[in-house]
Amino acid sequence: MSATISKTRLPATILATALAAVLLGACATGGSSGEAHGPTPSIVQPERLLAHARKIQANKGCEKAIPTYRVIAGFGEGYEVAQYELGACLLETAPTSAQAALLTQEGLFWLRRAAWAGNARAQWRLAMVLSGAPSPYAENVDAVPAEAMGWALVYKDNATRELYGLAPVYPKVLNHLNATLPQNAKAEATAFADGFAEVKMAIFTPPARDPNAEKPGKPQSQGQHGPGRHLKQTANR
């Protein structure tokens, strides 16, 4: 397989950003982001975090929801839907951001990450935005037509597409790809789809809780040198 339709690596700056978001989220579970209403969702409850991110997106837009989506996407296998929603949000936000190029690269990374794991919506979105045909949120995306065709073919055969009744790739996009791609690129896309095998992200495992750790706000044990020992010594005199 050529580099055109290969497992795209995330640039170091974006990888550092994504990893930092996960680590910061893990460290900040006891605080308040100012977006939440009620108890703050826990880092060990990603389903609640995902609902929290969607609520922020619905009420305040993608830009405000992106930091929370980044945390959930880092949980890996099983959270491809969060990876897709993060990627889609990043591409939606990029055109109006001063960091348009960076957000676009990060958005494509998460879409590819979810698509490789078998997420049908991510495969559909990549086919659309990489095709070079006019499509929503493709303003800053460089066309990669052979990859777009490859994802279109993978999406066509994705069993979950029919299970959830997802729409096919837009005919105008397919027509554009068929009209502009040379025969060797079409053959490459077909070979990619025929040999496609899911590659899932490693699952995040939170650190085990130390049973001997002091809980926040709990008075520290006085130990051997505390007042209890002093009183006992006084009583024995």
Over the stretch 213-233, which tens digit does the pLDDT of each residue have? 776 666 555 555 554 554 445
Q: Which domain holds residue 156?
A: 7-205
Q: What is the pTM of this model?
A: 0.74
**Separation of alpha carbons 230 and 55, rounded Å:** 55
223 within domain boundaries: no
| Residue 44 predicted with pLDDT over 90 | no
Cβ count near 197 (within 10 Å): 6
| Residue 32 predicted with pLDDT over 80 | no
Question: CA torsion, points 68, 70, 76, 78, in degrees to nearest 10?
Answer: 50
135 within domain boundaries: yes
156 within domain boundaries: yes
- The count of C-alpha atoms lying within 13 angstroms of the C-alpha of 199, restricted to the half-sphere facing its C-beta, is 8
Q: Flag the least confident range among 22-31, 89-98, 112-121.
A: 22-31
220 within domain boundaries: no
Count of structural domains within the chain: 1
**Separation of alpha carbons 19 and 151, rounded Å:** 27
